[in-house]
């Protein structure tokens, strides 16, 4: 292993480590990608720390060549330096794992994407025509209960951090509000993936933890990846997450320990940048579902001029013309980006250990430009869109 330390002169924000691991490469890609801009990647992490993130991590796997950076601290109390090996809460990247389990069940003939949810969970939803496909594609119109749960960031979190909810209790919170749209129209809602969790347990007779482990974690040897609910601890070495309050200049809140019961199959998985890269490479490389089911995941509907969403999988069109596939994740104390090229040959995961800080969210989005577009000397096609919404409560604009 070759290890190179990169740090700007006078930098005291943290440490950066870039490591190159010699492992067998994939087949030569049909279209070469720009060389990653590692200095630009470092700069984005430095900026995230200046904007309020205690720590930030990024890891790139380019056909087996692994390059990573970690800056800042994993724990504000003991000042331990953060590492690319640290685990963290991945938030809504969980939705991609959940979708894979259901598509494997579809491969096994236990589920039909275009069948109504009511076929498998009779009476759960008042509209019995909503399909499994609409649930997995955020096209059910079901209200996102997190919009009211976290309308006030810290009080909302403190109210639920130690509570344990059933799936039905969360769905009931959604159904107490009108639909946000007619079925078939994209409208991001965590409620959809609570329903998805119910589908997994109904169709398999097992807990979602068992299904995640047997179908994804163990086959891919994801040693840093866990579904912990309703336990509050992150196992092993991990980075603590810090929630920014709504009031300017108020102290950060350590949000690391919580039940995650308010999210469950919509956002409760714990992982690492290495495992997320392994997962996305395997998924997009066709190792987790049949080709037919992977195509279903990749059938995108437009979300914006530069984004699309399929089934538990998003697409980002970057400024250099490269499109990447994956998911963002927001949970109290953590912002995660996990994306890969469509063939899975280059995968990238990054996390900042704060949330409710849109400046940091947009800075971490910029890490993908460095990872996939490299250092560009020409004028870019367009600037990345500014993100003002978090998938933890997508109906609420944050400052």
Q: Do you know the residue count of the chain?
A: 399
* Whole-angstrom distance, CA of residue 174 vs CA of residue 145: 5
Residue 369 β-bridge partners: none
Q: Note if 370 is an active site residue.
A: no
Return all residues near 77 (Cβ < 8 A) that are at least 6 apart.
Answer: none
**Contact assessment for residue 83 and residue 14, using Cβ atoms and an 8 Å cutoff:** no
Could you give the CA distance from residue 393 to residue 399 in angstroms, rounded to a whole number? Answer: 13
The values of phi and psi at residue 192, to 5°, are -55, -40
- Are the C-beta atoms of 153 and 245 separated by less than 8 Å? yes
Integer Cα distance of 20 and 64 in angstroms: 9
The catalytic position among 8, 25, 43, 92 is: 92
Q: Which two tokens stand for residue 23?
A: 């492992």
The DSSP element (H or E) to which 4 belongs, if any, is strand 2-5
Q: Are 156 and 246 in contact (CB under 8 A)?
A: no
Q: φ and ψ at 325, to 5 degrees?
A: -125, 135
Active site residues: 92
């Amino acid at each position: 292993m070759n290890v190179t330390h990169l740090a700007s002169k006078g930098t005291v924000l943290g440490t950066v480590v870039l490591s190159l691991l010699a492992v067998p490469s994939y087949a030569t890609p049909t279209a070469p990608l720009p060389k990653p801009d590692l200095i630009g990647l470092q700069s984005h992490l430095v900026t995230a720390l200046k904007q309020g993130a205690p720590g930030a991590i990024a890891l790139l796997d380019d056909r087996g060549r692994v390059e990573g950076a970690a800056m800042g601290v994993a724990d504000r109390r003991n000042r331990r330096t953060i590492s690319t090996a640290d685990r963290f809460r991945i938030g809504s990247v969980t939705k991609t794992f959940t979708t894979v389990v259901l598509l494997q069940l579809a491969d096994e003939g236990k589920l039909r994407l275009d069948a109504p949810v009511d076929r498998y969970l009779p009476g759960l939803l008042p509209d019995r025509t909503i399909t499994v496909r609409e649930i997995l594609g955020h096209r059910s119109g079901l209200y996102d209960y997190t919009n009211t749960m976290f309308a006030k960031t810290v009080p909302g979190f403190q109210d639920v951090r130690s509570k344990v909810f059933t799936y039905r209790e969360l769905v009931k919170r959604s159904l107490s509000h009108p639909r946000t749209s007619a079925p078939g129209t994209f409208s991001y809602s965590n409620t959809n993936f609570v329903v998805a969790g119910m589908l997994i347990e109904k169709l398999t007779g097992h807990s979602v933890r068992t299904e995640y482990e047997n179908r994804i974690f163990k086959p891919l040897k994801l040693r840093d990846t866990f579904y912990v609910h309703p336990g509050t601890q992150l196992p092993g070495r991990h980075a603590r997450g810090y929630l920014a309050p709504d009031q300017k200049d108020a102290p950060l809140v350590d949000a690391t320990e919580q039940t995650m019961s308010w999210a469950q199959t919509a956002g409760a998985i714990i992982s690492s940048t290495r495992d997320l890269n392994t997962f996305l490479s395997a998924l997009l490389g066709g190792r987790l579902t049949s080709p037919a089911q992977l195509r279903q995941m990749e059938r995108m509907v437009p979300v914006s001029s530069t984004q699309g969403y399929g089934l538990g999988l998003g697409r980002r069109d970057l400024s250099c013309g490269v499109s990447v596939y994956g998911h963002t994740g927001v949970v109290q104390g953590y912002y995660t980006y996990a994306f890969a090229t469509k063939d899975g040959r280059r995968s990238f995961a990054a996390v900042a250990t704060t949330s409710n800080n849109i400046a940091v969210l947009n800075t971490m989005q910029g890490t993908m430009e460095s990872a996939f577009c490299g250092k560009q000397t020409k004028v870019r096609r367009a600037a990345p869109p500014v993100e003002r919404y978090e998938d933890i409560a997508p109906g609420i604009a944050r400052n």
